[in-house]
Structure 1
Amino acid sequence: MMTGDFCQEQLQYCFPSSNASCIKAQLGVGINFALYLLFALGMLVTILGNSVVIMSICHFKQLHSPTNVLILSLALVDLLVGVIVMPFSAIRTVTGCWFYGEDFCLLHSSLDVFLTTLSIFHLVCIAVDRQQAICNPLHYSRRITMSVAVMMVCISWALAAVFSYGLLYSKANIAGLEDYMASINCLGSCYLLFNPLWGILDSVICFFFPCTVMVCLYTQIFVVAKEHVRKIGDMSNWLIRAECKAARTLSIVLGVFIFCWMPFFMNSIIDPLTGFHTPGLLFEVLYWLGFFNSACNPIIYALFYPSFKKSLLTKFVVV
């Protein structure tokens, strides 16, 4: 009895004044510090890196192209992840508590789904742009203009918003989970759950189908590029070389996106079908692995994208 009382005294609650409060995560001071440091570093890289990409595209005229309009919008999406989504998620992960109310919980979850969906839509647009540039180079400048790129961006933002906010605010994603939600609900909780139907549909619509399309497009790109190399021989055409390098860089962006988000979307399908038995620690790891994708993209641009490397090096040499 004394042991039970002692354990009860050691528990800390998100809202101590409420009997319905969730229990705080108790990870220890050292682990809390390490997690906050890791998340702060991830947010810093995400915010600074994507800000550099945005400012570079806006500042350097040589970067004003349809492809870079799409990359600019993708960088803005990643920047919003670092500024709006990651800070609140970091606090929830470390403390195990949501301190900001049910309304902001729903808004935050919707933003999370919205920005993730928007990222994949941008990557599809970029893949289409590169496919046209390399597979139909004679018609590319006529088909993919700045206006077309802006239209692709606007359509991506609109479709992602309708899907994410429509799904979560209609509560279609938790239909049939009312009993389960009631059993785990407490003051200070904020869960993003999908029933078996929407766990599959969301993963297919927002990840697996777009990724399949992009893999097919990039496969076609590299087959055609290889044929160009065979015909030209010594690759004397600098334009084809530049286009191939750009396509290779953007395929790395796609590969990193798949690596970061596939485990999460696989779990989104499996978890509802197995009664939501994914361990909390594993879920947080998968969740943050996806977030850190937003920090990887600007690093890839800086290291591998020829136009960005040239512009940034020119800027630093001038300075």
Structure 2
Amino acid sequence: MDLTYIPEDLSSCPKFGNKSCPPTNRSFHVRVIMYSVMTGAIVITIFGNLVIMVSISHFKRLHSPTNFLILSMATTDFLLGFVIMPYSMVRSVESCCFDMMLSLTSIFHLCSIAMDRFCAVCYPLHYATTMTSSTIKRLLAFCWSVPALFSFGLVLSEANVSGMQSYKILVACFNFCALAFNKFWGTILFTTCFFTPGSIMVGIYGKIFIVSKQHARAIMKKHLSKKKDRKAAKTLGIVMGVFLACWLPCFLTVLIDPYLDYSTPIIILDLLVWLGYFNSTCNPLIHGFFYPWFQKALKYIVSGKIFCSHSATVNLFPEAH
């Protein structure tokens, strides 16, 4: 974020009577492109996750432990798109602990869904007794409470900017709202909130893929099994690929930037944060469109059939079930 060349004297800031802080100098065409891309991401994030929320809440056939985890994650991503992303769009184009909390909550939900799928695929006989209603409630409580406590505790205590003398100047002079981290908390954030959940997901999905291949060999209908196995592997690969592509650059910057004297330009930080936000845009597409019930539920919602009597009990799995 380039703290190196910020003056220590606040009088050099335009907010305090001078004009040394440069205003936003993006051209009209650049602003149009930024607003268009960001608005598109916001619309997809809000609408896609809203469809998943309504579908799982309304249709009783979708009331399963896995879908309750997806519902909670969709709620997180919906709030991120509805509350955080519009404000962040204006701040990014024209020129704070809530955005970190919701982003981490979404990551924790991805990890929980991976754990749920691990139990379902690797221990199917014990799934019903393991992923009970109380287990799901504990997982959801963990996914929401830990990021909230971490984010608000860290930001309100200002431990993340301890030792960064120029941070207040940056906030006052540049109307800077993005979170900054010193070396210690940058390392903690990377390790606990990205590396650990990411490693768990990679390990779990790798094990699921291996077990799926073993199951395919043991089943008589080899052609159908291999087809399903390839589809499952493709879906899991997309989940992990999108997650890593969206969040790895942002968390790597958080980890490395303090050791580079905060030399990363603010516009690059904004870009990386928005790349992380796009994970919430992709989540409803991945966890929605790859499920067979999603398109039928979407038709019910768009056509208004969801308001018909007994629509909550409609069978969304005519072929699979």
Range of TM-score over shorter length: 0.7 to 0.9
Q: Which moved more, 1:200-209 or 1:283-292?
A: 283-292
Contact 1:78 1:294 in 2 (8 A): yes
Query: 2:284 is matched with which residue: 280, 298, 301?
Result: 298
Residue pairs, 1:82-97, within 5 angstroms = 82-96=81-95
Partner of 1:123: 110
Partner of 2:10: none
Q: Is 1:30 the counterpart of 2:29 in the alignment?
A: yes
Deviations 1:243-293 (A, max 9, x none): 985675355223211110100001111111100101233222211111111
What is the distance in 2 between the residues matched to 1:265 and 1:110? 16
Deviations 1:73-93 (A, max 9, x none): 100111111111111111111
Structure 1 residue 67: Cα displacement: 0.3
Deviations 1:162-196 (A, max 9, x none): 1111111111111111x222443425332410001
Q: Is 1:111 the counterpart of 2:110 in the alignment?
A: no
Is there any run of 5+ residues in structure 2 with no aligned partner, and where? 1-12, 306-321
Structure 1 residue 317: Cα displacement: 8.7
Structure 1 residue 39: Cα displacement: 1.4
What is the distance in 2 between the residues matched to 1:174 and 1:293? 26
Greater relative contact order structure (CA < 8 Å, 6+ sep):
2
Partner of 1:268: 254
Partner of 2:74: 75
Q: What root-mean-square deviation, in Å, do the aligned CA atoms of Structure 1 and Structure 2 show? A: 2.7
Is there any run of 5+ residues in structure 1 with no aligned partner, and where? 1-14, 97-108
Assess, with a 3 A threshold, how the Cα gap between structure 1 residues 237 and 194 changes in structure 2: closer, same or farther: same
Assess, with a 3 A threshold, how the Cα gap between structure 1 residues 318 and 79 changes in structure 2: closer, same or farther: closer
Residue pairs, 1:1-319, within 5 angstroms = 19=17, 22-96=21-95, 109-177=96-164, 179-187=165-173, 188-235=175-222, 249-312=235-298
What is the distance in 2 between the residues matched to 1:61 and 1:142? 21
Structure 1 residue 138: Cα displacement: 0.6
Contact 1:77 1:119 in 2 (8 A): yes
Q: In structure 2, the residue corresponding to 1:26 is in which secondary structure? A: coil
Deviations 1:38-83 (A, max 9, x none): 2111111111111011011112222110000000010011111111
Structure 1 residue 234: Cα displacement: 1.4
Q: In structure 2, the residue corresponding to 1:189 is in which secondary structure? A: coil
| Residue type of the alignment partner of 2:235 | T
What is the distance in 1 between the residues matched to 2:224 and 2:259? 53
What is the distance in 1 between the residues matched to 2:102 and 2:230? 28
Deviations 1:209-264 (A, max 9, x none): 110011111111111111110011315998x9879856753552232111101000
Q: In structure 1, the residue corresponding to 2:166 is in which secondary structure? A: helix
Q: In structure 1, the residue corresponding to 2:199 is in which secondary structure? A: helix
Q: In structure 2, the residue corresponding to 1:292 is in which secondary structure? A: helix
How many residues of Structure 1 are paired with residues of Structure 2 in the alignment? 291
Q: In structure 2, the residue corresponding to 1:85 is in which secondary structure? A: helix
What is the distance in 2 between the residues matched to 1:20 and 1:152? 52
What is the distance in 2 between the residues matched to 1:302 and 1:167? 33
| Residue type of the alignment partner of 1:305 | Y
Structure 1 residue 314: Cα displacement: 6.8
